[in-house]
Structure 1
Amino acid sequence: MSPEPTPGSTSERTAWVLAKQLPASTDSGGRQRVRAVIDAYAASFDRVHVIGFDRWPGWRDVLPAHVTVHEVAAPGPTPGAVLRGSLFAGKWFSRRVHDLLATGVRGRDVVHVDFPQMAVNVPADVRVDVLDLHNVESDLVARRLRTERPLVGRLLAPEVARFRRFEFAAAARAGHVTACSRKDQEVLSAHGIDSTFVPNGVSAASGVPTVPPATRTALFVGAVDYGPNRAALRWFLDEVWPQVLTRVPSARFLAVGRGLSAVHPRPTGEPGGVEFHSDVAAVDPFYERADVCVVPLLSGGGTKIKLVEALSRGRAVVTTSLGLEGLEEHRDVLRVADGAAAFADALVELLQDPEQAAKLGSAAADVARSFSWESAMTPLRDLLSTIRR
C-alpha cells in the first residue's frame, strides 16, 4: 500500500512512468513488464502518472485512484529528435510526451523511463531516476538487422552505432538502471554502468498445469508482428519441422499468436500437420493440447517471457541458446539445441517419449512457481523504497 500523507504534506511523493506502449493488453512480454512496473510504482508512491502510446480503455477500473494515465496517440518524430538520438530512438519522439514531462514534473518527483529509446522524450532539465532496459536495445537492433535484413543492416550500421552511444549515454546519466538479464548486466558493467537485476516474470496460468495429452503435438506461442518471433517461426517451419515430420509423420504443430492471420496465412506448400491460430482470446487451451513447446529464437534479447510461460504451464520446452538467455540456471528442466538438425532431434525425442516429456514438464512447472511478476518486481520495489527515502 502507498503511504497516507496528510493533505499538503511534504512527504507526499509523485512518480512519472514513461512507457513505450500502454499495457492495455498483456499479449506481449513488454506489455506485461510495463504493467508490473506500474503496479510497483503504485504501491510505492502517493501519486503516479503513466504516459504511453496507444489507448488503455478501462484503466480507471483496474488501477488505484492515485494513478493517472495519459494516453498519447502516436509518436511524432522530428529531425531534431533523430539527430539527437538516431533513427531508432528519434522515431519514438512525441512533442506531447515531452511537454507533459516538461510542465508536470516537479523537483522531488521520480521519473521512470521504460526502454532507452523513450529517453529521447525527456526534457534536458528533467532527471531520469530509473531507466529500465528491457534489453540492451542497440544489441537487439543489431542482431535483428543481421539475421532478418542483412543488406539494410549494413546500410544502417552508422545509425546503430549512434543509437548505441545514445543508449549508453542515457544509462550513464540515469540515477539507477534496471536490467532483466544477467548478460545485459555484464554488457552494462563493461561500459562502467551499474545496474539492478529485475528479471521478467510470467502471468499466472488460469489453473493447475494439466497433464500433457501424449498426442505428439508441439506448440509455438508468440506475437509474429515482433521481428524475432516472425523469424523464429519461419525458420522452424522451413528448416526444422520437415525433419520432424520425416521421423514422426503423425506429429502436429500449433502456431498461436498475434498477427498470424496476416503473416502466416498457410500458403500452398506449407509443411503438413500445421495449424495457425491468430489473435486468440486465451492461450491456455492450446497449452493443454500440446506435449512440447518450442522457442526457436535466433535473435532478440533479455529473458524470454514466452519460455517462462511454457515452463509455468508444465510443458517440456525445446529452445535455442539464445532463447535460454536470462534463464541459464534452469537449463536442466528443458532442452537446448542450436541448428536445425539438433533442434529437430531434441523435439523428436520428446514427441516419441511422452513419459519423458511429462517428467520434464513437471520439473519445469516446479521451477516456474517462483516466476510470478510480484516476485520478479521485488528488486524494483526495494529500489523504489530506497529512492523514496
Structure 2
Amino acid sequence: MEEAHQVTPRTAWVIAKQLPASTDSGGRQRIRAVIDAYAQVFDEVRVVGFDTWPGWREVLPGHVRVHEVAAPRPTPAAVLRASLFAGKWFSAQIHDLLAAGVRSSDVVHVDFPQMAVNVPRDVRIDVLDLHNVESDLVARRLRTEKPLAARVLAPEVARFRRFELATARRARHVTACSRRDQEVLRAAGVGSTFVPNGVSAVSHVPTPPPGRRTALFVGAVDYGPNRAALRWFLDEVWPRVLTRVPDATFLAVGRGLSGAHPRPTGEPDGVEFHSDVAAVDPFYARADVCVVPLLSGGGTKIKLVEALSRGRAVVTTSLGLEGLEEHRSVLRVADGADAFAAALAELFEDPRGAAALGAAAADVARSFSWESAMTPLRDMLSAIRGGNGAEVGH
C-alpha cells in the first residue's frame, strides 16, 4: 500500500460475497442498496465479488466499476487462519487485486465478515457490514437442523466466531441490521451502527386480498433456514390448518423449489409449488396471508418486509420478527405448530380482519424503502469522506 496521505478519499472498494445480479435474495438486495449508497458519496466505486451474470452493470451509475470473480478458491492456509466457514470464501484473485489496487486514501467496505479473509493484513477495513452476526447464525442453524453436525463442527464455529469478532474490532466502523445482532456484538465489546434492511419499491398500490383463503410462502429453499421453515410448515402446520379450514390453499414460491427435496412424503393437499418464477407480484395478488415460519436465521427478514409492503397480513415466528419488533402490532406472531396453525386459520376465517391487518402493514412498510434504510450508512460515509475520524457507533 502507498504511504498515508492527508487527502479526501475519492475511491471506495466494496468487497461483496454476492454481486447483485438479481433481487432474488435479501443479501443481494442489501448489497445493491449498499453500492448505491457508496455511489452517492464517492467519485469512484469499485465492487469486487462472486456470482453474477452479464447485464446487471447496466443499471449502475457510470462511476461504479465491477470486478467479477468466478468462484472462491480456498486454500488450507486460509481455512487454518479464518476457520472453515470463512476460509471457504478465499480467493487469491481478490486478495491480489486489493493488495495491488487499494491506496491508503481509499475506503474499504467488507460485506459479510467471511469476505474479510480476502483483505490483505495491511489494508484497513473502514466498514464491516454484518448482514447477521454470522457465527451466531451458523451456530443456531446447526443446532436446529443438524445436532450431530453441530457437535462435530463446534470447534470450527468457535474459530469462526474469533475470526468474526477480530474482524469487527479491526474495522473502523461496524454496521448491523438487527437490534439483536447489536446486542450480541455489544456483549462481545464491539460497538455498531444500526443500518436496517429495506424493501424494493412496489410500483403500484397493493391489491386488496382476494378472500380465497390462500397463504403464501416466498423464499429460496437452497438457503438452509428457508428450507427448514418450509418443511416444518408443510409437515407440522399445514395439516392442522386443513383440519380447521379444509378449502385453504398454500402457495410456495421461490428458487430451488423444483424437485421433491423441499416436500414432505407425498403431495400435500391444497399446495402449489412454483420454482424460479419471473416475478412474485402475481402470487402476492393471489394471497390473503403470507407466512414466514422461520425456526433459524438472523437479521431482519426481507421477505417479511416485502409481504408487509404488499398489504398482506403476515403470520411469523418470534425469530422471523427479529429486527421488526417495534412493528409487532401489524403482525401475528406465533411459535409452535398449534399456535401458528391457529393464527393462520383465524385470519382465513376473518377476511375483513386479515384485510385490515394487511392495510395497517402496508402503512408501516412505506417507511421501509432501501433509500431510507441506508440513511445511517450514507451519513457515516459522508463523515468518512469529509475526514471525520470519529468512530461512528463505537
With normalisation by structure 1, the TM-score equals: 0.96
Counterpart for residue 295 of structure 1: 292
Against the structure 1 CA distance between its residues 153 and 12, is the aligned structure 2 distance closer, same or farther, given a 3 Å change threshold? Answer: closer
1:170 pairs with 2:167: yes
CA distance in 2, matches of 1:130, 1:301: 20
The range that moved more, 152-161 or 53-62, is: 53-62
- Preserved CA contact (<8 Å) 1:266 1:276: no
1:357 pairs with 2:354: yes
Counterpart for residue 3 of structure 1: none
Counterpart for residue 390 of structure 2: none
1:50 pairs with 2:47: yes
Match runs of 1:215-294 below 5 Å: 215-262=212-259, 264=261, 269-294=266-291
Q: State the Cα distance separating 1:60 from its structure 2 match.
A: 3.6
Question: Matched residue of 1:261: which SS?
Answer: coil
1:67 pairs with 2:102: no
CA RMSD of aligned residues (A): 1.3
Of residues 136, 139, 147 in structure 2, which corresponds to 1:139? 136
Question: Matched residue of 1:112: which SS?
Answer: strand
| Amino acid of the structure 2 residue aligned with 1:383 | M
Question: Matched residue of 1:358: which SS?
Answer: helix
- Preserved CA contact (<8 Å) 1:316 1:334: yes
Q: State the Cα distance separating 1:56 from its structure 2 match.
A: 3.7
Counterpart for residue 97 of structure 1: 94
- Preserved CA contact (<8 Å) 2:169 2:190: yes
Counterpart for residue 37 of structure 1: 34
Counterpart for residue 336 of structure 2: 339
Deviations 1:26-76 (A, max 9, x none): 100000000000000011001110000023412342111111000000000
Question: Matched residue of 2:89: which SS?
Answer: coil
- Preserved CA contact (<8 Å) 1:59 1:69: no
CA distance in 2, matches of 1:155, 1:309: 37
The range that moved more, 56-65 or 377-386, is: 56-65
Counterpart for residue 348 of structure 1: 345
Counterpart for residue 154 of structure 2: 157
CA distance in 2, matches of 1:103, 1:340: 54
- The runs of 4+ residues in structure 1 deviating greater than 6 Å are none
Question: Matched residue of 1:321: which SS?
Answer: coil
| Amino acid of the structure 2 residue aligned with 1:301 | G
Of residues 306, 311, 328 in structure 1, which corresponds to 2:308? 311
CA distance in 1, matches of 2:64, 2:119: 20
Counterpart for residue 391 of structure 2: none
CA distance in 2, matches of 1:232, 1:324: 14
| Amino acid of the structure 1 residue aligned with 2:194 | F
Question: Matched residue of 2:277: which SS?
Answer: coil
Counterpart for residue 4 of structure 1: none
Q: Which structure 1 segments of 5+ residues have no match?
A: 1-8
1:193 pairs with 2:193: no
Deviations 1:326-350 (A, max 9, x none): 0000000010000000000000000
Deviations 1:120-158 (A, max 9, x none): 110010000000000000010001111111111110000
- Preserved CA contact (<8 Å) 1:56 1:71: no
- Preserved CA contact (<8 Å) 2:241 2:341: yes
CA distance in 2, matches of 1:124, 1:263: 45
1:375 pairs with 2:372: yes
Counterpart for residue 3 of structure 2: none
| Amino acid of the structure 2 residue aligned with 1:303 | T
CA distance in 2, matches of 1:10, 1:268: 63
CA distance in 1, matches of 2:242, 2:346: 13
- Preserved CA contact (<8 Å) 2:9 2:107: no
Q: State the Cα distance separating 1:207 from its structure 2 match.
A: 1.3
CA distance in 2, matches of 1:117, 1:12: 25
Q: State the Cα distance separating 1:206 from its structure 2 match.
A: 3.1
Percent identical pairs in the alignment equals: 83
The range that moved more, 241-250 or 200-209, is: 200-209
Question: Matched residue of 2:46: which SS?
Answer: strand
- Preserved CA contact (<8 Å) 1:206 1:284: no
- Preserved CA contact (<8 Å) 2:234 2:263: no
CA distance in 2, matches of 1:109, 1:271: 55
